[in-house]
Structure 1
């Protein structure tokens, strides 16, 4: 009887909210899933900014052009259906200057891996809040010639959500790397790596230490040190970077 009732409740949830709602509501397996740990990067509090938005009734090329002319960026907020793609969209517009400032200060890939509070008001001067949600910028469309922000896609990021995020890589230790000191170049193969992250602990970046990397050696995705709650969404053997050239031992074998 209990199993039958549980199955019935699950079917109802799927009918009304979709399978993603069930994924998002899974309880954390341990307290590690709820907090940042001291050994890993944390979001910089100086970028903890609330993004202001107003509702937008319709979409289309002409509407979007009018929004941009008025100093607003046409945007969409989706529910996180599978951690990456969304449904149940809400049309909004955000301040062009606010988004431009954030993107310029943080950098594009860092902006796209940062959770923000978003407040929707009837208009930008209003004191009334229609909706307040946490969101993750999913896509940022820039003008090819001017880098002007053309539109943004956000995805909701409640604490219960698991989100697929391309985390930026930050390389350190290049000044003492044996291979780089010998004059060999660093080949950066991937500047971001995709992980499935609990919404509350999305890292702002991943540190990659080059200080012991010699000629011919590489760092792969499986070598990356991240919060234990994060789940790698690519092969652990995929290369992140490599110091070009052959190692001395390989050169001896080829002779």
Structure 2
């Protein structure tokens, strides 16, 4: 009987510590495989993370969850958070309850912006206590997956992280950066930019998650639009939305619309 219990304990431990797998991050139903010939590195001409924002997020373990525990954590200047191994970690993904420092997360969000914070990889260091003196429990690269801010103060309330080893494929809502407004023929005629999408979802190898995608407006005239298929991105990324979905359009001014209607 004792041997059977020991075997069961060992089996559960192995399940809990299973390594990150591609299958855990993405279902094969969600599209064709990524281009296997493209190099798994940032390419010249494509955005790459700014090293000045590279930072290790410090965390301590949290033994339990719940509204009362979370309220105490926030009152102490900590943000109740969680680290998963896969996209739907709540279904079983090597979960670890942690708390991070509210002032550090708030600073990163203020510097980067919310969308850019959620498309940036960070090192996460979990220690027994803050300050670097505590025992190291886990050090891992992570992607902030979800962020809940207070509706009135924008104070961080909860953060969900995904472990992001090199083997991981991650679904990322990558923010769009619009450039070339000064050269756009349509905008120079007095039209305005109608932004339809501010982020686009891609399947990204963890080593080349883009901080943003450039959107070139320099050749757009009145009435013209850009679709998701028109965006330029690393060949190892896979678009997870309809390529025919519009991103932006150069819309005519009110005066131009009136002239067209006459």
Instruction: Flag the 1:28–1:237 CA change in 2: closer, same or farther, 3 A.
Output: closer
Name the residue aligned to 1:128: 135
How far 1:216 moved relative to its partner?
0.3
Rounded Cα–Cα distance in structure 1 between residues aligned with 2:90 and 2:177? 23
Q: Does 1:53 align with 2:68?
A: no
Instruction: Flag the 1:209–1:80 CA change in 2: closer, same or farther, 3 A.
Output: same
Equivalence map 1:21-170=2 (5 Å): 21-23=21-23, 30=36, 32-81=38-87, 87-125=93-131, 126-170=133-177
Alignment TM-score, normalising by the size of structure 2: 0.83
Instruction: Flag the 1:119–1:31 CA change in 2: closer, same or farther, 3 A.
Output: farther
Instruction: Flag the 1:245–1:29 CA change in 2: closer, same or farther, 3 A.
Output: closer
Let me know the Cα RMSD of the aligned residues: 3.0
Look up the SS of the partner of 1:97 in the other structure: helix
Name the residue aligned to 1:7: none
Name the residue aligned to 1:208: 215
How far 1:32 moved relative to its partner?
3.3
- Residues 205-246 of structure 1 show CA distances to partners (whole Å, capped at 9, x for unaligned) of 000010110000000000000000000001100000001139
Instruction: Flag the 1:129–1:104 CA change in 2: closer, same or farther, 3 A.
Output: same
Rounded Cα–Cα distance in structure 1 between residues aligned with 2:90 and 2:190? 41
How far 1:31 moved relative to its partner?
6.5
Instruction: Flag the 1:24–1:61 CA change in 2: closer, same or farther, 3 A.
Output: closer
How far 1:86 moved relative to its partner?
6.7
Look up the SS of the partner of 1:109 in the other structure: helix
Name the residue aligned to 2:4: none
Name the residue aligned to 2:248: 241
| 2:35–2:235 Cα contact (<8 Å) kept | no
Rounded Cα–Cα distance in structure 2 between residues aligned with 1:76 and 1:244? 43
Name the residue aligned to 2:229: 222
Name the residue aligned to 2:10: none
Rounded Cα–Cα distance in structure 2 between residues aligned with 1:59 and 1:39? 44
| 1:166–1:194 Cα contact (<8 Å) kept | yes
Q: How many matched pairs?
A: 238
Which consecutive unaligned segments of at least 5 residues does structure 1 have?
A: 1-14
Rounded Cα–Cα distance in structure 2 between residues aligned with 1:22 and 1:40? 24
